[in-house]
């Protein structure tokens, strides 16, 4: 994802879908080489075609989901005072988005990932903003609300929760509990999240390349474990206290931005959704 974001951010200003000026900081080895090559002559086309052949649809899906969440988060942060990144990874929204400068951010992630990110950012900035708090957590084992409370989260104030690229790696029980905890947040809070179509797990042949992708992830020791059927997402969320606002595929976002439809082939199953807390 850091490579996809860095590649998109290196495009000319009038053609990129977002700008993440810090994504390149998290690149290592061949990814750093690819990013540098994309800035030279015909290098971008070569790098993008190579990535698209090795993992069809992944680049477009990653860029589309970043754009959509950026746009939705910008709107949400105009009215909420807290931003919560669930499984923050190398997300840099708290540093690069103007609206995020006015809110308190809580970055929840696995201890190893969180520490690695902090080290890289401290080298870049010298010190990290006090408005950003790093919270170490294992979503499959720990209570999200308890971790947030200990970090100073104000449950009386509305928040924007971003859950990007995470749900497909968790257990059904962990997701169920996390959503129920989010539903207890202050009224007006928003959840922005990604998920995969359940058929990728149950009937992978419905999607181009999905069977090989699932097998490859399994071999890496990072299997996908959870998905939803889009037609049941509204009910699923309602049963847990959230109201669905929007649910669409990355292909819809990509094409809506004027990008070629065929570039999302292979990731049509990847979806984006928003929901609100209403008491």
Q: Classify strands 104-109 and 159-163 as parallel, antiparallel or unpaired.
A: unpaired
Structure tokens at 216: 């490859």
Q: What is the pTM of this model?
A: 0.95
Residues 31 and 78 in one domain: no
Q: How confident is the model at residue 105 (pLDDT cuts 50, 70, 90)?
A: very high
Together in a domain, 193 and 66: yes
pLDDT (average), residues 182-186: 97
Quote the pLDDT of residue 279: 79
Q: How many CA atoms lie within 13 A of 109 on its CB side?
A: 22
Domain match, 40 and 63 both: no
* Number of neighbours of residue 184 by Cβ within 10 angstroms: 12
> 247 and 185, same structural domain?
yes
Q: What's the average model confidence in pLDDT over 5-20?
A: 96
**Total domains present in the chain:** 2
The boundaries of the domain holding residue 37 are 1-54
pLDDT at 59 over 80: yes
- Exposure string for 79-92, b = 16+ CB within 10 A, e = fewer: ebebbbbbbbbbbb
On whether both 12 and 120 belong to a single domain, the answer is: no
User: Tell me: the pLDDT tens digits for 238-264?
Assistant: 999 999 999 999 999 999 999 999 999
Q: What is the CATH number of the domain that holds 225?
A: 3.40.50.150
Co-location of 261 and 141 in the same domain: yes
């Amino acid at each position: 994802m850091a490579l996809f974001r860095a590649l998109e951010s290196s495009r000319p200003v009038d053609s990129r879908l977002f700008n993440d000026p810090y994504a390149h900081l998290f690149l290592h080895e061949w990814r750093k080489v690819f990013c540098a090559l994309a800035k030279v002559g015909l290098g971008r086309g070569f790098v993008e075609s190579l990535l698209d052949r090795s993992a069809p649809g992944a680049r477009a899906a990653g860029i589309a989901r970043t754009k959509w969440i950026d746009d939705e988060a910008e709107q949400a942060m105009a009215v909420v005072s807290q931003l919560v990144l669930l499984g923050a990874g190398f997300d840099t929204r708290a540093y690069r988005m103007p609206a995020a400068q006015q809110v308190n951010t809580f970055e929840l992630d696995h201890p190893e990932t969180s520490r690695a990110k902090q080290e890289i950012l401290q080298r870049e900035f010298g010190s990290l903003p006090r408005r950003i708090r790093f919270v170490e957590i294992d979503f499959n084992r720990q209570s999200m609300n308890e971790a947030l409370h200990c970090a100073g989260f104000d449950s009386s104030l509305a928040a924007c929760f971003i859950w990007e690229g995470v749900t497909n790696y968790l257990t059904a029980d962990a997701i169920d509990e996390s959503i129920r905890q989010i539903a207890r947040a202050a009224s007006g809070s928003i959840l922005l999240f990604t998920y995969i179509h359940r058929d990728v797990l149950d009937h992978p042949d419905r999607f181009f390349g999905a069977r090989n992708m699932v097998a490859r992830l399994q071999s890496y020791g990072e299997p996908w474990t959870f998905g939803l059927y889009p037609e049941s997402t509204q009910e699923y969320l309602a049963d847990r206290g959230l109201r669905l606002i929007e649910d669409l595929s990355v292909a819809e976002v990509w094409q809506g931005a004027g990008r070629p439809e065929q570039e999302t082939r292979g990731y049509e199953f990847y979806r984006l959704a928003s929901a609100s807390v209403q008491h």
